[in-house]
A and B are shown apart, each in its own frame.
Chain A
Amino acid sequence: MCTYSTEHVPATGSGKGPDGWFRLREVSVYFDHPAHAVADHTLNIDFINPVQGPSARVAVELTAQTARDLARAIESALGAAPPGLA
């Protein structure tokens, strides 16, 4: 199904899209049909800058397992940073 629900995260950082690096403004996170991955549904993340237009986007489509592993890895990497850095 098309799930319709989307998590919106304001973002500070950069992403590298088809035209090179750009400043990020927002991240959209949703579980829905992928455009490319061979799966019925994937966890999709769009790192975007709407001010620069729809092509300012870094997209990933991950299986649910990969997405959960990634979420754990992000927390783990942040937790392993020296005190005061992250």
Chain B
Amino acid sequence: MNEALTAETVMMKGHDGDQLEAYLARPDGVESFGGVVMIHHLPGYDSSTKEMARKFAAHGYAALIPNLYYRDSPGASPDDAAAAARAKGGVPDEQVVGDVAGAAAYLRDLPGSNGKIGVIGHCSGGRQAFLAACSLPFDAAVDCYGGAVVRVPEGAPASFKPLIGLSKNLSCPLLGLFGADDQFPTPAETAELSATLEEFSKPHEFHTFPGAGHAFFSVDRPSYRVEAAVDGWEKIWAFFGKRLAGKA
């Protein structure tokens, strides 16, 4: 693997055929590659999420981040767009699913795609990765400390529902990466989710890292935990490597 890549801003079709901006990073000099839809977190379509997309491309995957806030804030800076979305009460789950479906279709249509598509998200994006994997066909899904899957935090908008009831619809194997010190989700909640997935015979692999709390992958925040993050990335490469890599 030479880690060469191309990254650019593209336009794609999202929910209801809406045109959305998206960030695409794809490997150069690779004959065939899998695709990863990356769902940005609530603070927006930001630099740290784009940096992760480039990491996926360096590891041989095409990664696409749909800008979930684009339709209401085209051309706005990611933080202004996130603030505007928040002021409006957030983005409906149905719209997120439609945008993720559009991103998956875009990746499948790329020349060189092997047709295998995964989805990943962190924090609120982790919740939405689970939502997408329970709503759409995927080959693999990764939920990094997605809160509000089992229980919705106090004060959340009334439209915001827990997702554990969708577990029976999970379309693909799920990798869950969580922090033992996290309160959103707590280890008890992720254990409950694991038990529910067991009940429906849904393949999943959950890891809870000691000494890590929420957002341990975030290199630009005090919550970063190097051991958990390095180990977590290795688990992602192994998990996606088995399910998304290779020829069509």
Contact = CB atoms under 8 A, between A and B. Distances in A.
B83 A54 contact: yes
Interface in B70-117: 72-73, 76-84, 86-90
- The B interface, classified by DSSP as helix, strand, loop or mixed, is loop
29 contacts: A1-B183, A1-B214, A3-B153, A4-B157, A4-B160, A5-B153, A5-B154, A5-B157, A8-B87, A30-B86, A33-B43, A34-B43, A35-B43, A35-B44, A35-B78, A35-B79, A36-B79, A38-B221, A39-B221, A39-B222, A40-B215, A40-B221, A40-B223, A46-B87, A48-B87, A54-B81, A54-B83, A55-B76, A57-B83
Given A33-B123, A40-B214, A54-B76, A4 B148 contact: yes
Given A8-B87, A36-B79, A50-B87, 11 more contacts: A2-B43, A5-B153, A33-B123, A33-B221, A38-B221, A39-B221, A39-B222, A48-B83, A54-B72, A54-B81, A57-B83
B123 A28 contact: no
Interface string A48-59: 101001110101
Contacts of A26: 87
A54 B148 contact: no
A54 B147 contact: no
- The A interface, classified by DSSP as helix, strand, loop or mixed, is loop
Interface string B130-159: 000000000000000101100011111100
Interface of B: 41-44, 46, 72-73, 76-84, 86-90, 123-124, 145, 147-148, 152-157, 160, 182-184, 214-215, 221-223
